[in-house]
Chain A
C-alpha cells in the first residue's frame, strides 16, 4: 500500500534501529547483565548475608577484651535426606582471630547424595566482615550411603565490624544437587 510506503519512508533507518534495539538491549541487560552485577554487588556489600572469603591467614589488630558471640545454625531444603547440624551451637570469638569449628552431616539413605551448602550471615551489616578461610560450602559435598562426615570451617570476624554488633549468626542451608 502506498500509505505504508509513505510512512515507512518517513521513518529513517537510524530511527528504526534505535526503536528496535532499545527493547532488545533492555532484555539483554535484564538477563545477562543484571544477574552478574547483582552477584558482584552482594559480594562487595555483604548484601543478603553473602559472606566473604580470605585466601590466607592475615594479621589483624586484635583487641583481646572485645568479644562477639557467633551462633551456628543449620537447615536442609525439604526432601534433602541428610541430617545436618553444627558441632557446637555458639562460640565466643575475639574479632581479628581465626577460629575453627565444624558441622556434622549424616546421610540416612542407601543412596549416594550430593549437596551444596549455602551460607548466610545475619545481621547484614556483619556479613561483610565475616570471612572464611576454608569452608565445606566452597565445594559440593558427596555423602556415601549411611556415611557420617565432619565438615570444617575456619573463619575470622574482622575487627572493622561495627562495635555495636555483639551477636552474629551463621546459617547454612543444604540443597540437593543432581550430579
Chain B
C-alpha cells in the first residue's frame, strides 16, 4: 500500500487545483466535506428563513402575513429542507472530513462517487425549491407527504418533488456505500474495529441505516409517482390499495431516518466530552453496542407515529413497548457521557458548552418522546405542538447542536486557526437561551391542545405563541453571528498548534495544525493508534 501511494499522485500531489474547477472536479475528501458543510449551512439559512415566515404568521392569532396555502408550503418545505438539505448533508460533510483522518486513510474509498453524491445535492435542492414558482405552488402536504393528500389532491409540481427525493436518496445511498467501503477497506491495517473512534462507529452504523431506509423512501415516492401518473393504486382504495399503507411505508423509512440524523451526533458528543473532561470515554464498548441496538430497534417501532390510525390493541401495545425499549440504550449513552465527566478536570470551551447543553436538551427531547410513545397518552398529544416541541428538541438541540459543536471543535484542524472564543461564547448563550424560549413553550401549547400545521389558532394560545415567535426571531438571528465567527476564523484566526485542545485524543490531532490536503499516505502505526485512542 505504501509503495502504491508514493507513486500514485499526479499533479494533485502538493495541493489543490486553482479556481472554481477545483470544487467541481474534486475527489478530495476534505474538499468534498467542505462543500457539503457550506451547502448544508446555506440550506440551513434557507430553511431558517422559511421558519421565520412561519413564526411571523404565528406571532399573533388571526391571519396577517400570508394565505394558509402558502403557510402550508412553508411548513412542508421547511421540514424537507432542514432534514434532507441541512442536517443530513452536514453530517455527511463531517463524515467526509473526519472519517478518513480518524481511520488513518488517505481518502474515501470511492472518491469519484463521492464527487457525484455531493454534486447531485444542489440539483435536487434546486428542483425542490423551483416548485415554489410552479402552478399550484410547492408541496403543501407536510414533510411526511401522506397519501392521498400527496397523490390524488396534490398539484402537478409534486412530480418534481418526487424527482428531487429520488436524487436525494441516490446521493445519500452513494454516501453511505462510500463510508462503509472506507471504514471496512481503507482503515489503517493496525486499527481493529474496536479501536475505532465513536464518530466512525456511529457513522458506520448510520450508513447501514441509510442503505436500509433510503431505498424504502425511494420506493414510497415511486409508488406515489405511478399512482399519480400511471394508473396504479398502491395508496388508492378504489383500486384495492390503502392510504394507511403509505403511512406504514413512510414511517418504516421515517423512524430509522430520525436515527440517521442523531447517531452521528452521538458520535460527535462522545469525542468532545472526553476531551474537555480530560478522561477517556466511559464505557466505550457499551457505547458501540448501544448504538447498534438503537439502530436495530429503530426498524421495529415505526407505528408509534400511527397510534391514531385505528390499530388493534395488540399492535398499539407492541409498538408502545418496543418504543419504550429505545430509551434503554439511549439512557446508557447519556449515563456514559455523564460518567465520563465524573471527577474529570473539566473546562468549558465553547465546543464543550454545546456538548453539555446537547446532553441536557436532547434528554428533554427523549423524555417527551417517551411521553409520546405511551399509546393512550398519544391520543391527546398526536398532531399537536407537543410533537413539534419533541422533534425540535431532538433535532435542533440534538442533531444541529452536535453539528455546531463539531464545527467549532474541528475548525482549528480544518483551518489551522482558532475562532474567536469570546464571540463564540456569546453566540452559544444567545442560541441556547433563545432556542428554549422558542421551543419550550410549544410543550405547553401542545398539552393545551394546539394543533400543529395550522396558520391560525384560538385566542388562549396567543401568549405562548408570542413568546415562542420572539424566541424564534432571536434564535434565527444567532446564525448570522455563527456565520461571522466561522468566516472570521478562516480569515483572521490566530494560528494554532496541531493539538489545540489540551485533552484531545485521536489520529486527526497528530496531523499538522491545518491538516494537509493529503494525509495518511502511510497508515499510522499500532503504537500511534493506541496512544491516540480516546478510550482505555
User: A2 touching B180 by the CB < 8 A rule?
Assistant: no
- Per the CB 8 Å criterion, the residue count for chain A at the interface is 40
B216 within 8 A of A: yes
Complex: chain B residue closest to A122, CB-CB: B310
Nearest Cβ on chain A to B258's Cβ, whole angstroms: 18
Q: Which one of B7, B212, B309 contacts A26 once the chains associate, using CB atoms below 8 Å? A: B212
Nearest Cβ on chain B to A21's Cβ, whole angstroms: 10
- Per the CB 8 Å criterion, the residue count for chain B at the interface is 49
CB-CB < 8 A to B110: which residues of A? 7, 11
Nearest Cβ on chain A to B212's Cβ, whole angstroms: 6
Nearest Cβ on chain A to B392's Cβ, whole angstroms: 28
Beta-carbon contacts under 8 Å, B94-117 to A: 106-107, 109-112
* Number of residue pairs A-B, CB distance < 8 angstroms: 115
A56 within 8 A of B: no
B9 within 8 A of A: yes
Q: A7-B109, A19-B177 are in contact. Are A47 and B312 (CB under 8 A)?
A: yes
B249 within 8 A of A: yes
In the complex, per-residue mask of B445-466: 1 if CB is within 8 Å of any chain A CB, else 0: 0000000000000000000000
User: B8 touching A27 by the CB < 8 A rule?
Assistant: no
Query: Interface stretch among B236-244, B287-295, B473-481, B528-536?
Result: B236-244
Nearest Cβ on chain A to B148's Cβ, whole angstroms: 10
User: B244 touching A48 by the CB < 8 A rule?
Assistant: yes
B328 within 8 A of A: no
Q: A6-B4, A11-B181, A23-B173 are in contact. Are A125 and B215 (CB under 8 A)?
A: no
User: B249 touching A34 by the CB < 8 A rule?
Assistant: yes
B21 within 8 A of A: no
Complex: chain B residue closest to A140, CB-CB: B238
Complex: chain B residue closest to A50, CB-CB: B242
Query: Interface stretch among A94-102, A148-156, A171-179?
Result: A171-179
CB-CB < 8 A to B7: which residues of A? 2
Q: Which one of A15, A39, A45 contacts B312 once the chains associate, using CB atoms below 8 Å? A: A45
User: A23 touching B109 by the CB < 8 A rule?
Assistant: no
Complex: chain A residue closest to B226, CB-CB: A31
A93 within 8 A of B: no
Rounded to whole angstroms, the CA-CA distance of A69 and B344 in the bound complex is 69
CB-CB < 8 A to A23: which residues of B? 173, 177, 211, 214-215
User: B184 touching A15 by the CB < 8 A rule?
Assistant: yes
Complex: chain B residue closest to A174, CB-CB: B238
Complex: chain B residue closest to A176, CB-CB: B238
User: A31 touching B4 by the CB < 8 A rule?
Assistant: no
Q: Which one of B177, B213, B223 contacts A20 once the chains associate, using CB atoms below 8 Å? A: B177
User: B249 touching A30 by the CB < 8 A rule?
Assistant: yes
Rounded to whole angstroms, the CA-CA distance of A25 and B218 in the bound complex is 12
B502 within 8 A of A: no
B234 within 8 A of A: yes
Nearest Cβ on chain A to B329's Cβ, whole angstroms: 23
Rounded to whole angstroms, the CA-CA distance of A42 and B215 in the bound complex is 24
Q: Which one of A2, A4, A35, A125 contacts B245 once the chains associate, using CB atoms below 8 Å? A: A35
CB-CB < 8 A to A124: which residues of B? 310-312
Nearest Cβ on chain A to B468's Cβ, whole angstroms: 36
Rounded to whole angstroms, the CA-CA distance of A24 and B214 in the bound complex is 10
Rounded to whole angstroms, the CA-CA distance of A175 and B252 in the bound complex is 28
In the complex, per-residue mask of A42-53: 1 if CB is within 8 Å of any chain B CB, else 0: 100111110000
CB-CB < 8 A to A173: which residues of B? 237
Rounded to whole angstroms, the CA-CA distance of A25 and B219 in the bound complex is 11
User: B237 touching A35 by the CB < 8 A rule?
Assistant: no
In the complex, per-residue mask of B161-197: 1 if CB is within 8 Å of any chain A CB, else 0: 0000000000001000100110011100000000000
A108 within 8 A of B: no
Rounded to whole angstroms, the CA-CA distance of A173 and B243 in the bound complex is 14
Query: A-contacting residues of B (Cβ < 8 Å)?
Result: 1, 4-5, 7-10, 106-107, 109-112, 173, 177, 180-181, 184-186, 211-216, 218-220, 222-223, 234, 236-238, 240-242, 244-245, 248-249, 252, 309-313, 315
Extra 5 A-B pairs, beta carbons < 8 Å, given A39-B240, A48-B310: A1-B8, A2-B8, A3-B107, A118-B237, A176-B238
Between A and B, 13 residue pairs with Cβ closer than 8 Å are A2-B8, A6-B1, A11-B185, A19-B180, A26-B219, A27-B216, A29-B216, A34-B252, A47-B315, A48-B242, A77-B238, A125-B312, A173-B237
5 closest A-B pairs (Cβ-Cβ)? A30-B219, A175-B238, A26-B215, A27-B215, A2-B8
